[in-house]
A and B are shown apart, each in its own frame.
Chain A
Amino acid sequence: MTGPAERVVENLNRGLHELFAVDERVYLLGEDIADPYGGAFKVSRGLSTRFPDRVLTTPISEGAIVGVAGGLALCGQRPVVEIMFGDFITLCFDQLYNFASKSVAMYGRRVEMSLVVRCPVGGNRGYGPTHSQHPQKHFIGIPHLNLFELSPFHDSSVLLNRMLDLGEPAILFEDKILYGQRMHVGGRIDELVGFDFLDPRRDHARAFLFDQDECDCLVIAPGGLAERVLAAMRELFLAEELVCQLVVPAQLYPFDIEPLLPLLTRAGRVCVVEEGVAGGTWGAEVAASVHERLWGQLRAPVLRLNSVGAVIPAAPELERATLVQKSTVYNAIRDACRA
């Protein structure tokens, strides 16, 4: 190893640079993405300087930007759109729901629509009610619309290529809290925790405690929650001698449960964690799949953890108390396993 691993934001930025360098069909559209600003979260840094013809900084027009991306995709191009705050993706809903995803199939033949919408999401940054949400659930279950989430386990270059190769629109949810964290590489997170992948496509990353074969609780969580769950995992082991494993899928929808089945059957409890509020969520969708597939083999219903069903406050103490934290995961799993 030569120094620490890349930060997630560096990995994502490098992934975009690589994508642009090898594929002339790739565009980036978004607000304030041009250098020297490089996007609100600096993910787009350097791209407009290297690829000025294909990096288009836009007016504040989210709906039109995704519409333009749809037009480019229709012409065989591969646009990537940056939505400054994922909360604003509501302004693009018509273009995603009624145009980009529909166009793949509504003309009676497959029309390739390679298009990625990147959305910084999530709280714990003090941005308040309209700049902190996880809007994933509003996009679940739309035919030909694929949902992914950034994670410290999945290389962005691989992920972006995979999304653009779908020939269908895809959304990449990027938990803002991840940008400054380090990528996990080489199968080892620290002296206590290692990781591997459950499937050849490397969709499902699995973090586990070294030298522990049993599993009191299998946690399924998207990338943004990885660090919070890992911290809870360590503490549950050290303080409670409870052994957890964590599965982090890159693709949220459609969700491939097959590679998880062997782990799920062996686990004492199954827990799904997400930062969004309960009610028609990805976590509910995963829990329903687990129940359908393993009814009769589960020791207890799937434990679902969400943030408090409330507007996300701006004040740090209030925000912390509203969103899923390490302690939320720790307490819930301890109580469930001790019950």
Chain B
Amino acid sequence: MSRALTEPAPGTSQLAERDLERLLLIRHFETALLRLFAEGKLNGTTHTCLGQEYIPVALNALLRVDDFVLSNHRGHGHYLARFADPEGLLAEIMGREGAVCSGVGGSQHIYREGYLSTGVQGQNVPVGVGVALRLRQLGSGQLAAVFIGDGTWGEGAVYEALNLAQLWQVPLLLIVENNHIAQSTPLDAHMAGDIAGRARAFGVRYHRVAGIDINRIRVELAEVVAGVRRTPAPAVVEFDTVRIGAHSKGDDTRDAETVAAARARDWYTHYERAFPARFALADAAARRFVAELVVRVERRPPVGRRP
């Protein structure tokens, strides 16, 4: 490998091939979804995680295969980081044969062993406490990882659940993807105080991640995640992140300056600058892979009637 391909830019560490591939897969998978919607080939709705892909990819290396992940409406990245199954997910979203949930769940309701997503805000946190309670009793070091956003903190269920998690000392990793916007409502219009203060109020361990460097995030969080398993006890990990796309398909009401600021923090641009040659190769490969995937899944017949 040439020097240009291995040398990272200052401040950005080299990425494992697998991580880069997974990041780009999620990015191009969701970009393809938006294109399919624009072409009128997709039905219903979707919520992309453009800009946030690095979070589940970073975390996945810290999770065990027998951990239980509870995702939300913006969950494609969570799923693709955990399972090498873009085909099953795309078929689910397109309502084609081979759909991971037979076309019933669609984008927001995905289930397979050790993974579940639901479409109602805050609902997955108490469910996660229930799962974590069981895992605690098994004493196996497994944990329940629950993904929520900054907007989810508007729901009372989150507070009830966090209280229970700390009272009962269950291995719950509450991952907050704080993208500073709840659909169209900015953080300063929907949240009084902050997330750190909320965790502190319950005496729950809290850690904030500001960067996008996957390797550093893993180093930063290794002890937090290990603590959740070992103690066991809940922890809140807040990612200060950006949503560079719309909430759903084309409903971004932010001004150009705000969107530009978000885009300036995109991991994609950073990694592209850090190791351009290697990035370009992987990027082209991911685009090609997704384009072929779309063609393949599109050719399939619609999901059959359920028995």
Please tell me if the beta carbons of B161 and A67 are within 8 angstroms of each other in the complex: yes
A-contact bits for B108-149, CB 8 A (1 contact / 0 none):
011100001011100101111111111101000000100000
Of B120, B128, B160, chain A has the most CB atoms within 10 Å of the CB of B160
User: Which DSSP category, helix, strand, loop or mixed, fits chain A's interface?
Assistant: helix
Q: A71-B130, A99-B127 are in contact. Are A108 and B99 (CB under 8 A)?
A: yes
Please state if A95 and B111 are interface contacts (CB–CB under 8 Å): no
A68 touching B130 in the complex, CB below 8 Å, given contacts A74-B116, A107-B104, A109-B102: yes
| Residue contact A64 to B126, C-beta cutoff 8 Å | yes
B132 contact set on A, CB distance < 8 A: 71
A53 to chain B minimum Cβ distance, whole angstroms, is: 7
- Chain B residue with Cβ nearest A109: B102
Q: Is the CB of A64 within 8 A of B157?
A: yes
**Taking A71-B126, A108-B102, A111-B111 as contacts, is the C-beta distance between A53 and B137 under 8 angstroms?**
yes
Contacts of B137 in A (CB 8 A): 53
Does B103 belong to the interface (CB within 8 Å)?
Answer: yes
Per CB-CB distance, the 3 closest pairs between chain A and chain B, nearest first, are A71-B130, A67-B126, A108-B102
**Do the beta carbons of B129 and A67 come within 8 Å of each other?**
yes
Contact stretch, chosen from A12-20, A55-63, A215-223: A55-63
> Do B163 and A108 touch across chains, with their CB atoms under 8 A apart?
no
Contacts of B119 in A (CB 8 A): 98
Flag if B164 contacts A58 (CB, 8 Å).
yes
Chain B residues in 8 Å Cβ range of A95: 123, 126-127
A53-B137, A74-B131 known; A68 vs B126 contact (CB < 8 Å)? yes
A69 CB-CB contact with B under 8 Å:
yes
Q: Is the CB of A71 within 8 A of B101?
A: no
- Rounded to whole angstroms, the CA-CA distance of A68 and B135 in the bound complex is 12
Determine the chain A residues whose CB is within 8 A of the CB of B130 once the complex forms: 67-75, 79
A59 and B110 within 8 A (CB)? no
**Beyond known contacts A59-B163, A71-B144, A75-B131: 6 more, CB 8 A cutoff:** A56-B168, A68-B133, A71-B132, A72-B134, A103-B111, A107-B109
Q: Is B306 an interface residue (CB 8 A)?
A: yes
- Are A72 and B133 in contact, CB atoms less than 8 angstroms apart? yes
A71 touches B99 (CB 8 A): no
Q: Does A192 contact B (CB under 8 A)?
A: no
B44 within 8 A of A: no
| Cross-interface CB contact of B127 among A71, A105, A109, cutoff 8 Å | A71
Q: A95-B126, A107-B109 are in contact. Are A67 and B157 (CB under 8 A)?
A: yes
CB of B111 within 8 A of CB of A94, answer no
Q: Do B131 and A63 touch across chains, with their CB atoms under 8 A apart?
A: no
In the assembled complex, the Cα of A135 lies from the Cα of B123 at a distance in Å of 22
Q: Please determine whether B129 and A108 come into contact, CB atoms closer than 8 angstroms.
A: no
Chain B nearest CB, measured from A60 CB (Å):
9
Q: Supply 21 A–B pairs (Cβ within 8 Å), ascending by A.
A: A63-B157, A67-B123, A68-B130, A68-B161, A70-B127, A70-B130, A71-B128, A71-B132, A71-B133, A71-B134, A72-B130, A72-B131, A74-B130, A79-B130, A94-B157, A95-B126, A95-B127, A98-B120, A107-B110, A108-B100, A108-B102
Residue of A nearest to B116 (CB): A74
Specify which of A69, A73, A108 is in contact with B101 (CB 8 Å cutoff): A108
Chain A: CB-nearest residue to B108 = A106
Is A77 in contact with chain B by the CB < 8 A criterion? yes
Q: Are A106 and B163 in contact (CB under 8 A)?
A: no
Using Cβ atoms and an 8 Å threshold, which residues of chain A touch B116?
Answer: 74, 103, 107
Residues on A with C-beta less than 8 A from B250 are none
Assess whether B227 is interfacial by the CB under 8 Å rule: no
B105: Cβ under 8 A from any A Cβ: yes
Residue of A nearest to B306 (CB): A108
Q: Which residues of A contact B (CB under 8 A)?
A: 53, 56, 58-59, 61, 63-75, 77, 79, 94-95, 98-99, 102-103, 105-109, 111
B164–A99 contact, CB under 8 A? no
* Nearest Cβ on chain A to B101's Cβ, whole angstroms: 4
A63 and B105 contact, CB distance less than 8 A: no
Q: Does B264 count as interface, using CB distance less than 8 angstroms?
A: no
Q: Is the CB of A59 within 8 A of B167?
A: yes
| Cα–Cα distance between A74 and B116 once the two chains are bound (Å) | 10
Residue of A nearest to B122 (CB): A94
User: Residue B11 at the A interface, CB < 8 A?
Assistant: no
Return chain A residues, CB-CB under 8 Å to B161.
64, 67-68
- Considering only residues 86-110 of chain B, those with a C-beta below 8 Å from chain A are 99-105, 109-110
**Whole-angstrom distance between the Cβ of B82 and the nearest chain A Cβ:** 16
Residues of chain A lying within 8 A (CB to CB) of residue B104: 105-108
Give chain B nearest CB distance to A323 CB in angstroms. Answer: 32
Chain B positions 196 through 212: 1 when the CB is less than 8 Å from some CB of chain A, otherwise 0: 00000000000000000
Shortest CB-to-CB span from A90 to chain B, Å, is: 13
A-side contacts of B101, CB under 8 Å: 106-109
* CB–CB A64/B164 < 8 A: yes
CB distance from A108 to the nearest CB of B (A): 3
Q: In the complex, A141 Cα to B99 Cα: how many Å?
A: 28
Q: Which of chain B's residues have a CB closer than 8 A to the CB of A108? A: 99-105, 306
Say how far B7's CB is from chain A's closest CB, in angstroms: 45
**Cβ of B127 and Cβ of A74 under 8 Å apart?**
yes
Question: Are the CB atoms of B99 and A67 closer together than 8 Å?
Answer: no
B193 at the interface (CB under 8 A from A): no
Q: Which residues of chain B have C-beta atoms less than 8 A from A70's C-beta?
A: 126-127, 130
Looking at B118, B128, B134, the one whose CB has the most chain A CB atoms below 10 A away is B134
